[in-house]
């Protein structure tokens, strides 16, 4: 089979490395891929949002199956375009991807079908939003409606700060058009867990749970980032919590999307908070998480391509989806200064790394891999227990070098403490 994987980050690298293990795979194209994955895929200079070019390329090369990894092309309807020319793909269509594309849609879906989430209101009028904010007790959570790369959320510690957040989104286009509509919601507390699930709209199979670390600095300080490291499984996600999430959240979400005429096929990502009242949805994503994928897929025992094909062909119940009974740690190495200003163009060297490296913000210059982005790579180690996986990932981090190397020193520590 010839496969095309859309996207070019660490998540895509992790997906490609798993797809490669299937013996029927002859070729994997990465569009656009990155300079760190040239040993695993043929990188093609077509970007994830060049939808027409992607379709043309896949037709010309007679690609058999497309894996659409990032949110933007899913939300823009790449799946629908591929369907129109008869090329099967993994990922939801445009109607189903709205569960990530519009927070207002997602919130209204949860309200209608009584899926546990933070209480909220949606506003398109700034005066009304400000009046509502004035009646709340901080902290106040203000979210831009559309996709803003995980950065469109402001947790305001005071009413003036909440007013400022609303104003910056609605009048100053802080997140572009994404902020024309805002969602203001109740502040929830509790440990967060990411659960990725395969679903073909009939069957839903959760993958091993994980814990991302979104803040840039040690001790969960500093700015929100795309994610600085992940451990899996997440110790807060006990069997009891998992059963409750399945019953109260996962299955109801699947049914709700079907009832709305938007059957979801692909990877549905549940960002949950485990509150005193049980698990509640913080966000849905219509795709694999990044960097969750870099910690979760290395634990997958089953064949990823077979699962993805079964999802698309709506026969997920027929294939086996099994995970190792082990732990993993994916540690992100970033460019110092990320998520704000950082320098790029520095050569990356490695010596004796034992785990798997998933490249993200890199390119190839004269045969060398050099940094080109904020999150440069993730290194993942799998061990029988979490403490050893964390220690091994940190040992690997010391064996990788580039001038601006930066990483958090406490990835997984909260999870370790929770286990005790």
Q: Choose between 156 and 254: whose C-beta lies nearer to ligand AMP.
A: 156
Handedness of CA 43, 45, 50, 51 (dihedral sign): negative
Question: If we measure between CA atoms, which residue out of 237, 274, 235, 265 comes closest to residue 92?
Answer: 265
Q: Which two tokens stand for residue 319?
A: 């294939």
- Could you tell me which stretch among 167-175, 183-191, 327-335, 344-352 binds ligand AMP (CB under 6 A)? 183-191
Distance linking the first and last C-alpha atoms of the chain: 46
- Compute, in degrees rounded to 10, the torsion defined by CA atoms 301, 205, 32, 406: -70
- Could you tell me which stretch among 12-20, 44-52, 182-190, 339-347 binds ligand AMP (CB under 6 A)? 182-190
Contact set with ligand GLY (CB under 6 A): 150, 212, 227, 285, 289-290, 292
Identify the DSSP state of 117.
B
Q: Choose between 93 and 290: whose C-beta lies nearer to ligand GLY.
A: 290
Q: Choose between 290 and 312: whose C-beta lies nearer to ligand GLY.
A: 290
Closest residue by beta carbon to ligand GLY = 289
Q: Which does 303 bind (CB under 5 to 8 A by kind): ligand GLY, ligand AMP, none?
A: none
Structural contact between residues 4 and 66, judged by C-beta atoms closer than 8 angstroms? yes
141 is a contact residue toward ligand AMP (CB under 6 A): yes
Range list of β-strands (E), 137-187: 140-144, 153-156, 182-185
Q: Which does 290 bind (CB under 5 to 8 A by kind): ligand GLY, ligand AMP, none?
A: ligand GLY
Contact map string, positions 121 to 140, toward ligand AMP, x by CB under 6 A: --------------------
185 is a contact residue toward ligand AMP (CB under 6 A): yes
Helix (H, G, I), strand (E, B) or coil at 134: helix
Q: How far is the CB of 150 from ligand GLY (least distance, A)?
A: 5
Range list of β-strands (E), 186-310: 192-199, 204-206, 211-212, 215-217, 221-224, 229-232, 266-275, 278-285
How many of the other CB atoms lie within 10 Å of CB of 167?
14
Catalog residues that contact ligand AMP under the rule CB under 6 A. 118, 141, 143, 150, 153, 155, 185-188, 192, 214, 271, 282-283
């Amino acid at each position: 089979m010839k496969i095309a994987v859309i996207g070019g980050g660490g998540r895509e690298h992790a997906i490609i490395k798993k797809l490669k293990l299937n013996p029927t795979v002859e070729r994997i194209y990465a569009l656009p891929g990155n300079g760190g994955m040239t040993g695993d895929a043929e990188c093609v200079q077509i970007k994830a949002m060049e939808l027409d070019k992607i379709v043309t390329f896949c037709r010309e090369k007679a690609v058999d199956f497309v894996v659409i990894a990032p949110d933007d092309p899913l939300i823009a309807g790449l799946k629908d375009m591929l369907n129109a020319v008869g090329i099967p793909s993994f990922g939801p269509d445009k109607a189903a991807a709205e569960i990530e594309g519009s927070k207002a849609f997602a919130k209204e879906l949860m309200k209608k079908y009584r899926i546990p989430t933070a209480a909220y209101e949606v506003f398109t009028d700034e005066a009304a939003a400000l009046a509502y904010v004035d009646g709340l007790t901080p902290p106040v959570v203000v979210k831009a409606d559309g996709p803003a790369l995980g950065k469109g959320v402001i947790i305001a510690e005071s009413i003036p700060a909440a007013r400022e957040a609303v104003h910056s989104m609605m009048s100053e286009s802080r997140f572009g058009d994404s902020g024309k509509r805002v969602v203001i919601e109740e502040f929830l507390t509790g440990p967060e867990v990411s659960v990725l699930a395969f679903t073909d709209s009939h069957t839903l199979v959760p993958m091993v749970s994980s814990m991302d670390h979104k803040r840039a600095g040690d001790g969960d300080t500093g700015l929100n980032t795309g994610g600085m490291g992940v451990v899996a499984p997440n110790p807060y996600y006990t069997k009891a919590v998992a059963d409750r999430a399945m019953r109260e959240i996962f299955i109801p979400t699947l049914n709700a999307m079907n009832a709305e005429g938007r059957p979801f096929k692909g990877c549905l990502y549940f960002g949950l908070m485990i509150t005193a009242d049980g698990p509640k949805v913080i966000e849905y994503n219509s795709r694999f998480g990044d960097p969750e994928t870099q910690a979760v897929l290395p634990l997958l025992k089953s064949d990823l391509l077979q699962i993805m094909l079964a999802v698309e062909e709506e026969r997920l119940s027929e294939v086996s989806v099994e995970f190792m009974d082990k732990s993993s740690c994916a540690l992100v190495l970033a460019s110092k200064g990320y998520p704000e200003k950082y320098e790029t163009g520095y050569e990356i060297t490695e010596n004796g790394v034992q785990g798997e490296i998933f490249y993200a913000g890199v390119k190839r210059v004269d045969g060398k891999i050099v940094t080109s982005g904020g999150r440069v790579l993730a290194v993942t180690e799998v061990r029988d227990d979490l403490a050893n996986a964390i220690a091994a990932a940190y040992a690997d981090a010391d064996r990788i070098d580039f001038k601006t190397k930066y990483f958090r020193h406490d990835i997984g520590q909260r999870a370790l403490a929770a286990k005790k």
